[in-house]
Amino acid sequence: MTLDEITEGMRKRVGADSGLDATVKFDFGADGIIFLDGKSAPNTVTNEDKDADCTIGIKLADFEKLVAGDLDPTTAFMLGKLKVSGSMGVAMKLSSVLG
């Protein structure tokens, strides 16, 4: 999948109110960024590189496996495939938004 396809898919999943009440940046390195603003009304999902309450660093291929259910978030974190900086509490809420 392309970054644009993933961004659009996330927009559909998040909807107008994700219930997250936080900002999250998915940093895919050279493949780009997805910024989820769960504080705005309605919530927005863009490819802007902004400061966020929580930043998730992950390769695009691993993110696809995560969303498809082929990679467990805890396992990905333990193996270093998923890095979290900022609020761990926000990171824990993400599964309900992305699942």
Segments making up each domain of the chain, as ranges: 3-87
Look up the CATH number of domain 3-87: 3.30.1050.10
Q: Report yes or no: 86 and 50 within 8 Å, Cβ to Cβ.
A: no
- Token pair, residue 85, equals 């900086």
Digit-coded pLDDT (tens) for 2-47 = 999 999 999 998 999 988 999 999 999 999 999 999 999 999 999 9
Mean pLDDT of 64-89: 93
User: The tokens 């993933």 sit on which residue?
Assistant: 6
Indicate the pLDDT class of residue 99, thresholds 50, 70 and 90.
low
Strand partners, 85: 55
Identify the helix (H) or strand (E) that includes residue 90.
helix 88-98
Average pLDDT over residues 67-74: 91
User: What phi and psi values does residue 24 have, to the nearest 5 degrees?
Assistant: -135, 135
Mean pLDDT of the chain: 93
